[in-house]
Amino acid sequence: MSIDWFTVSAQIVNFLILMALLKRFLYAPLLAVMDKREQTVAQRWEEAERLQQQAQIALEDNQKQQRLLRETQEASLSRIREEAEAQKQQMLETIRDDLQQRKDRWLGSIEQEKEDFLLDLQRRVGEETLAIATNALRDLAHADLEQAITSAFLQKLAALDPTTQVALKRALHEPTESLVVQTRFLLSDTQQQAITTQLEQIADSAVRVDFAQEPALLGGISLKVPPYEIAWNLREYLDALGATFQHALSVRSAQAPTPQGKSAR
């Protein structure tokens, strides 16, 4: 079999021309389109990465803001709790102070009532004692209580120690309007004269004496020679009695149950 080299050569030339045409009109545009497509994909990939980075930054900023918000909220809540606790303590302190003041006023009113009761009791006991003693002396001994009180006062003046007598004598010679002798009852002229005579004996001279009634003496006599005062008074005995009542009430109050039901200590 013989080869037609002309035909073969023509086919080779045709193939080369076809390849040149394909490369010129098909492969070159196709490669250009592919390159452009690749560039577009690369640009879009870069844009996607840039957007992803921006999204990551935005996410981190958002997380940071949320963290700051939580910290701010916690700080605000802590401050609010502290302020509420401070107001609570202040209110408790105010309530305690108010309760203490009410307690003090209550105790003060009780103490005042107790003192008023003791004074009234002392006065009543004094008046009753004076009345009983007067009636008893009159009925049993046929003696006048007022005269007995006057005699007791005169005996007290006569029994003054020398130092007191010298001081009283000096006071009696001091320039003054008058001496004042106070009694609960009216003194008779004889009783007034006896007291005046006793004072003149102490002063070794005439003295002016004024006599006045004083119900608070509760059956006694008081001589006021500024700055001295000499007295015989049932109040001294009543004060002792009042002190006894005061002690008894104090002991009773200490043993009394408190409002909570416990004994006071």
pLDDT value at position 200? 86
The answer to whether 154 and 198 have CB atoms below 8 angstroms apart is: yes
pLDDT value at position 138? 47
pLDDT value at position 110? 83
Question: Is the previous residue joined to 227 through a cis bond, with omega within 30 degrees of 0?
Answer: yes
Model confidence over 236-254: pLDDT tens digits?
665 665 566 666 656 655 5
Residues with Cβ within 8 Å of residue 228, at least 6 apart in sequence: 167, 168, 171
pLDDT value at position 246? 62
Model confidence over 120-130: pLDDT tens digits?
776 676 667 65
Selection from 162, 177, 160 nearest residue 230 by Cα: 160
Domain boundaries, the chain: 144-252
The answer to whether 219 and 145 have CB atoms below 8 angstroms apart is: yes
pLDDT value at position 75? 86
Whole-model pTM: value is 0.40
Compute mean pLDDT per 10 residues along the chain, 265 residues long, and list them.
Answer: 72 79 72 80 85 87 87 86 88 89 86 78 68 55 66 84 81 71 85 88 84 76 75 64 62 54 43
pLDDT value at position 27? 72
